[in-house]
């Protein structure tokens, strides 16, 4: 589904990603962990098509096609979803209105009939209930004045509505209380099926108790320095990242 | 006709020649008022950029181009105005064509006791003595060339008078239509709203062109709010892009009165909206909201002056500009606080969104505060669409132009939301959407 090979990315004259190789197959859940500043969000943004990054080497293929030449909206239409680490507040743009526009833009791009207001609202309310997002938030401006946890729930809500093929969740668990964490995890698990894949960026092994990953990768200084199964997260939890550096040095 | 003085002389000559045909021409004070104003205009001429108040706005084009004042017969049918009305808005309606009342298009209907609503020409003829205190020597800014030009004609407009504790039962919709046919015309509406103690009204002024002819609108309105009176005022300006729109609105507010203004400026090649409010009594309050759009080479200038003359009054101003193409937007907001106006509250903000590299926004707050116990704040920004917001929307699948359109609408939204009358705000929002969908991809979604 996703093949990242030898990806080098810079911002300005600083190289942030220094050769990432990662293959994600349908049905898989990959967790990416790693110290602050190691490049996890950069990778997420590059996959979603944010401007301001320069790919200096390497390639990314999605469903067999070059991903990097596509606009962010084209990627969304192809089923990629990014849950932001810091969701932006957008004053004056109504959450429901925006989401209806988003889902219909995607349906249109894929040759499907657009949802009418009634069907959309029914569906959105159901999904909001599923992820425990207070319905009153639906009528507010996108993320405006939302608490940190509400913003993250809103990301999961949008994911649930858009039903992406590949969800990249950048620290969606940070700032969530225990109940919210469980709900977010349920949201992700509900989406799990043999056709879809998830990349979870997280600092906490706790999330992985709820969403059991197939692979865990450690990103450090722009490289994946270790990959393993779920048990790698437990080791990291216990030992931190220091031992990886020592292991790398010897 | 090639100097500014020649052009001023031409206006004065036309004013003199039509003077005998003007309403109430035989009433001495009216005659004197017109003559004095004509002399003032002859002396002042059109303003130049050397004058502080016109520093950002060049009306030089008006020195080269004559807009006829003499009225001709216009045949405007009911079907022409139909699209300009607000479905669902039950209202009293007065229509003016090139500044002259069109009774056949107007619909005043029954009025509550104590409310007088008529066109100014009728009021001038019917009760000139009652209007003298407002339109005579006291009612004009003699150093203002456009006001002088308007007063020199003093022909028509609306005259709304509310007795104490009365309420205009329905909103009043004033339509000002400009039409050129074979020539370029000047419309000079003169409006007077006198709201006695405890009275209330809602007024919507809308300015439209009926064709592509260039017209000059020079409108002058005076509002007097006595104690506890309330006026909710809306103004939509959507004249064609050849036209010039100059307007001034003077508001006098007594104790505990409330004036609320909502402006949407979309049209004209040059639009100037002056709004001067004197807060003359404790507890008086004004809320001024304005949204102005410019594209191509449009120039739009919002010029406000609020004078806190007594203690304990509040003023709030919130103006926003959306500027595309080579348009230029100006906000000049002056707040004056008199030494005895303690506990004044004055807030002012002006935010501008530039949609193209060639658009320009000038914002100039002027605070003159002579009292020490006051709360005054002002903030101004000029910026572009936020990249993070754009990316967020696009990452969810919105095409770039739609995302831009939504953000622009989002920028304007709080001003629309502040309009208490939803039939009006919904219509104005649709106008914004229509304009944005010409350059942005909103249409397919709404
Ligand atoms: N716009 C930018 N300009 C310059 N440097 C940047 C920019 N964005 C990110 N960086 C740098 O790139 C590096 C990687 O940042 P990134 O946000 O990808 O880290 P991260 O792994 O997501 O960290 P965290 O765990 O704190 O979220 C950091 O050193 C950061 O300072
Ligand atoms: Mg990050």
| CA closest to A92 among chain B residues | B410
What's the CATH number where A241 sits?
A: 3.40.50.300
- Please name the member of B389, B395, B398 whose beta carbon is closest to the beta carbon of A101: B398
3-state secondary structure chain A: CEEEEEEEEEECCEEEEEEEEEEECCCCEEEEECCCCCCHHHHHHHHHCCCCCEEEEEEEEECCEECCCCCHHHHHHCCEEEECCCCCCEEEEEHHHHHHHHHHHHHHHCCCCCCCHHHHHHHHHHHHHHCCCCHHHHCCEECCCCCHHHHHHHHHHHHHHHCCCEEEEECCCCCCCHHHHHHHHHHHHHHCCCCCEEEEECCCHHHHHHCCCCEEEEEECCEEEEEECHHHHHHHHHHCCHHHHHHHHC
| Interface residue A85 vs chain B (CB under 8 A) | no
The predicted structure's pLDDT at residue B137: 58
- Measured between CB atoms, which of A48, A92, A106 is closest to B413? A92
Across chain B, what does the average pLDDT equal?
93
Residue of chain A minimizing CA distance to B410: A92
Q: Answer whether A113 touches B (CB < 8 Å).
A: no
Host H or E run for residue B36: helix B28-44
Higher pLDDT, A246 or B419: B419
Q: How far apart are CA B308 and CA B285, in angstroms?
A: 10
From chain A, the residues in CB contact with B389 under 8 A are 88, 90
Please name the residue of chain B whose CA is at the shortest distance from the CA of residue A89: B389
C-alpha B235 – ligand 1 centre gap (Å): 48
Please tell me the predicted confidence (pLDDT) of residue B444: 47
CA distance B303 to chain A (A): 26
Q: Are A184 and A173 in contact (CB under 8 A)?
A: yes
**For position A247, what pLDDT does the model report?**
64
CB within 6 Å of ligand 1 — which residues? A 11-12, 14, 16, 34, 36-42, 85
pLDDT grade for B141, boundaries at 50, 70 and 90: low
Nearest Cα of chain A lies from the Cα of B260 at a distance, in angstroms, of 22
- Domain residue limits at A134: 2-249
Cross-chain CB nearest to B409 (options A71, A92, A108): A92
What confidence category does residue A98 fall into, taking pLDDT thresholds of 50, 70 and 90? very high
Mean pLDDT of chain A: 91
Which ligand is closest to the CA of A45, given by its number?
1
Distance A52 CA to ligand 1 centre (A): 13
pLDDT band with cut points at 50, 70 and 90 for residue A246: low
Contacts A48 to B, Cβ<8 Å: 391, 395
Categorise residue A49: left if φ over 0, alpha if ψ from -120 to 50, beta otherwise. left
Per residue in B28-51, pLDDT (tens digit) is: 999 999 999 999 999 999 999 999
Is residue B234 within 8 angstroms of chain A, CB to CB? Answer: no
Measure A222 CA to ligand 1 centroid, in angstroms: 10
Higher pLDDT, B437 or B287: B287
DSSP string for residues in B280-299: -STT-EEEEEEEEEE-TT-E
Which residue puts its alpha carbon closest to atom 5 of ligand 1?
Answer: A11
* Subunit contact A92:B397, Cβ cutoff 8 A: no
Mean pLDDT of B84-106: 95
Q: What own/partner pairs with CB < 8 Å and gap ≥ 24 does A233-236 have? A: A233/A31, A233/A33, A233/A205, A233/A208, A234/A205, A236/A33, A236/A205
3-class DSSP state of B184: coil
Mean pLDDT within B279-291? 98
Whether the CB-CB separation of B330 and B362 falls below 8 Å is answered with: yes
- Please say if the pLDDT value at position B138 is more than 90: no
Residue B324 has pLDDT above 60, yes or no: yes
- Separation of first and last alpha carbons in chain B: 50
Environment class of B294 (CB within 10 Å of its CB; exposed 0-12, middle 13-18, buried 19+)? buried
Q: What is the pLDDT of residues B215-272, one digit of tens each?
A: 999 999 999 999 999 999 999 999 999 999 999 999 999 999 999 999 999 999 999 9
Question: Which ligand 1 atom is at minimum distance from the Cα of A171?
Answer: 27
Contact assignment for A91 to B413 by CB distance below 8 Å = yes
The DSSP result for B117-171, as a single string, is EEEHHHHHHH-HHHHHHHHSGGG--TT-HHHHHHHHH----EEEEE-TT-B-SSP
The residue whose CB lies within 8 Å of the most ligand 1 atoms, and thus the one to mutate among A7, A10, A42, is: A42
The token pair at B27 is 């009433």
Report CA(A84)–ligand 1 centroid distance (Å). 14
* Interface touch B396/A93, C-beta < 8 Å: no
8 Å CB contact between B124 and B6: no
- Reply yes or no on whether the pLDDT at B74 is more than 70: yes
Query: Within a 10 A sphere around the Cβ of B388, how many other Cβ atoms?
Result: 14
Mutate to test the interface with B, among A73, A86, A103 (most CBs of B within 10 A): A73
Give the residue carrying structure tokens 């004095």.
B36
Let me know: does B193 contact B200? Beta carbons within 8 Å. no
Strands (E), B280-359: 285-294, 299-308, 314-323, 328-337, 344-354
Query: What's the pTM value of the predicted model, to 2 decimals?
Result: 0.92
Q: Which residue, A152, A10, A161, A19, is CA-closest to A100?
A: A161
Distance from the alpha carbon of residue A203 to the mean position of ligand 1, in angstroms? 15
Q: How many CB atoms lie under 10 A from the CB of residue B90?
A: 10
Mean pLDDT over residues A37-57, rounded? 96
Between B140 and A47, whose confidence is greater? A47
The ligand whose atoms approach the alpha carbon of A42 most closely is: 1
Instruction: Give the Cα separation of B54 and B332 in Å (integer).
Output: 10
Residues within 8 A of A (CB atoms), B 23-42 only: none
pLDDT band, residue B183 (cuts 50/70/90): confident
Ligand number nearest to the C-alpha of A220: 1
Model pLDDT, residue A249: 58
Give how many domains chain A has, as a whole number: 1
Question: How many contacts does A have with B, using Cβ atoms within 8 A?
Answer: 88
Q: Tell me, in angstroms, the distance from the centre of ligand 2 to residue A218's CA.
A: 13
pLDDT exceeds 80 at position A194: yes
Mutate to test the interface with B, among A45, A97, A105 (most CBs of B within 10 A): A105
- Say what the pLDDT of residue B164 is: 98
Stretch B93-97: mean pLDDT: 97
Q: Residue B247's closest CA among B289, B189, B192, B204?
A: B189
Average pLDDT for residues A158-187, to the nearest whole number?
90
Whether B402 sits inside 8 A of A105 (CB atoms) is yes
Place of tokens 């209806």: A100
From CA B322, how far away is CA B352, in angstroms rounded? 6
Question: How far apart are the C-alpha atoms of B185 and B301, rounded to whole Å?
Answer: 22
Q: Looking up tokens 């709080």, which residue turns up?
A: B414
Tell how far the Cα of A165 is from the centroid of ligand 2, in angstroms.
22
Any bridge partners for residue A132, and if so which? none
| Percent with pLDDT over 70 in chain A | 98
Residues B424, B234 contacting (CB under 8 angstroms): yes
Domains of chain B: which residue ranges?
4-387, 388-446
d(CA B16, CA B12): 6
User: A234 or B320, which is more confident?
Assistant: B320
What is the pLDDT at residue B75? Answer: 82
Nearest CA to ligand 1 atom 3: A11
Nearest residue to A156 (alpha-carbon basis) of A145, A170, A136: A170
- Rounded to a whole number of angstroms, the distance from the CA of A123 to the nearest CA of chain B is 17
CA separation for the pair B126, B141 (Å, rounded): 25
Residue B445: its pLDDT value, please?
A: 46
ipTM of the complex: 0.96
Least confident of A186-200, B88-102, B166-180: A186-200
DSSP for residue B212? S
Q: Whose CA is nearest to atom 6 of ligand 1?
A: A11
Query: What pLDDT shows up at residue B442?
Result: 54
Give percent of chain B above pLDDT 70.
96
Structure confidence at residue B186 as a pLDDT band (50, 70, 90): very high
Predicted confidence band of residue A149 (pLDDT cuts 50, 70, 90): confident
Bridge partner residues of A198 (DSSP): A29, A167
Residue A248 is predicted with a pLDDT of: 61
Alpha-carbon distances, residue A152 vs A145, B183, B259, B403 (angstroms)? 13, 62, 42, 21
Dist. CA B416 → ligand 1 center (Å)? 38
**How many whole angstroms separate alpha carbon B252 and alpha carbon A17?**
65
Beta-sheet strand order (sheet of A54-62) = A14-24, A2-11, A54-62, A65-66
Residue A100 has pLDDT above 60, yes or no: yes
B402–A48: do the CB atoms touch at under 8 Å? no
Q: Whose CA is nearest to atom 25 of ligand 1?
A: A36
Q: Is A120 within 8 Å of chain B by CB?
A: no
Instruction: List CB contacts (< 8 A) between B393 and chain A.
Output: 90, 93, 98, 102
Instruction: Give backbone dihedrals phi and psi of B79, rounded to 5 degrees, phi first.
Output: -65, -25
CB pair distance less than 8 Å for B391 and A72: yes
- Residue B1 binned pLDDT confidence (cut-offs 50, 70, 90): very low
When mean pLDDT is compared across B69-73, B102-106, B124-128, the lowest value belongs to: B69-73
C-alpha distance from residue B26 to each of B29, B35, B152, B440 (Å): 9, 12, 15, 56
Q: Does the pLDDT at position B25 exceed 60?
A: yes
The minimum CA-CA distance between B320 and chain A, rounded to whole Å, is 13
């Amino acid at each position: 589904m996703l093949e990242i090979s030898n990806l080098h990315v810079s911002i300005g004259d600083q190289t942030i990603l220094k050769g990432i190789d990662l293959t994600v197959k349908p049905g898989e859940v990959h967790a990416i962990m790693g110290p602050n500043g190691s490049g996890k969000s950069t990778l997420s943004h590059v996959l979603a098509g944010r401007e301001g990054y320069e790919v200096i080497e390497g390639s990314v293929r999605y469903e067999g096609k070059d991903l990097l030449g596509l606009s962010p909206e084209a990627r969304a239409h192809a089923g990629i979803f990014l849950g932001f680490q810091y969701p932006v507040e957008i004053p004056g743009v109504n959450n429901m209105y925006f989401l209806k526009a988003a889902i219909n833009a995607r349906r249109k791009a894929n040759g499907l009939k657009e949802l009418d207001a009634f069907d959309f609202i029914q569906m959105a309310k159901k999904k909001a209930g599923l992820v425990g997002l207070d319905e009153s938030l639906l009528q507010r401006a996108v993320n405006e004045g939302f608490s940190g946890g509400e913003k993250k729930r809103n990301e999961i809500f949008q994911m649930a509505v858009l039903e992406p093929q590949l969800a990249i969740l950048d620290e969606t668990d940070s700032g969530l209380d225990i109940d919210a964490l469980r709900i977010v995890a349920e949201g992700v698990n509900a989406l799990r099926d043999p056709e879809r894949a998830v990349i979870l960026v997280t600092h906490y092994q706790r999330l992985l108790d709820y969403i059991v990953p197939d692979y865990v990768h450690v990103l450090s200084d722009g490289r994946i320095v270790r990959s393993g199964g779920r048990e790698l997260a437990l080791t990291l939890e216990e030992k931190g990242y220091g031992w990886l550096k020592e292991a790398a040095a010897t | 006709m090639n100097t500014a003085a020649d052009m001023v002389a031409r206006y004065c000559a036309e004013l003199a020649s039509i003077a005998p045909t003007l309403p109430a021409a035989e009433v001495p004070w009216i005659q004197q008022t017109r003559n004095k104003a004509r002399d003032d205009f002859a002396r002042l001429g059109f303003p130049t950029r050397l004058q502080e108040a016109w520093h950002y706005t060049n009306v030089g084009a008006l020195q080269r181009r004559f807009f006829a004042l003499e009225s001709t017969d216009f045949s405007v049918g009911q079907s022409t105005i139909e699209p300009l009305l607000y479905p669902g808005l039950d209202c009293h309606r007065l229509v003016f064509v090139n500044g002259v009342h069109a009774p056949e298009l107007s619909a005043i209907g029954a009025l509550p006791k104590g409310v007088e609503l008529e066109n100014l020409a009728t009021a001038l003829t019917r009760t000139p003595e009652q209007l003298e205190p407002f339109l005579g020597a006291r009612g004009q800014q003699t150093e203002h060339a456009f006001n002088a030009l308007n007063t020199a004609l003093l022909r028509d407009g609306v005259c709304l008078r509310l007795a104490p504790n009365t309420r205009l039962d329905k909103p009043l919709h004033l339509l000002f239509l400009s039409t050129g046919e074979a020539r370029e015309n000047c419309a000079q509406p003169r409006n007077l709203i006198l709201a006695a103690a405890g009275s209330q009204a809602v007024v919507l002024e809308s300015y439209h062109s009926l064709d592509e002819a260039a017209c000059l609108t020079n409108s002058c309105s005076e509002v007097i709010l006595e104690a506890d009176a309330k006026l909710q005022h809306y103004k939509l300006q959507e004249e064609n892009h050849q036209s010039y729109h100059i307007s001034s609105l003077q508001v006098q507010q007594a104790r505990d009165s409330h004036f609320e203004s909502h402006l949407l400026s979309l049209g004209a090649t040059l639009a100037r909206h002056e709004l001067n409010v004197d807060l003359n009594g404790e507890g008086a309050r004004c809320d001024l909201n304005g949204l102005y759009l410019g594209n191509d080479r449009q120039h739009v200038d919002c010029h406000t002056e609020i004078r806190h003359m007594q203690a304990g009054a509040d003023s709030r101003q919130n103006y926003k500009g959306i500027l595309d193409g080579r348009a230029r937007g100006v906000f000049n907001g002056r707040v004056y606080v008199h030494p005895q106006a303690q506990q004044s509250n004055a807030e002012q903000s002006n935010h501008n969104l530039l949609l193209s590299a060639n658009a320009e926004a000038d914002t100039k707050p002027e605070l003159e505060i002579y009292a020490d116990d006051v709360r005054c704040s002002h903030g101004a920004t000029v910026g572009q669409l936020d990249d993070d917001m754009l990316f967020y929307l696009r990452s969810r699948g919105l095409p770039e132009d739609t995302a831009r359109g939504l953000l622009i609408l989002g920028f304007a939204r709080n001003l629309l939301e502040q309009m208490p009358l939803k039939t009006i705000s919904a219509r104005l929002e649709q106008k914004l959407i229509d304009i944005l969908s010409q350059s942005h991809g909103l249409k397919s979604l709404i």
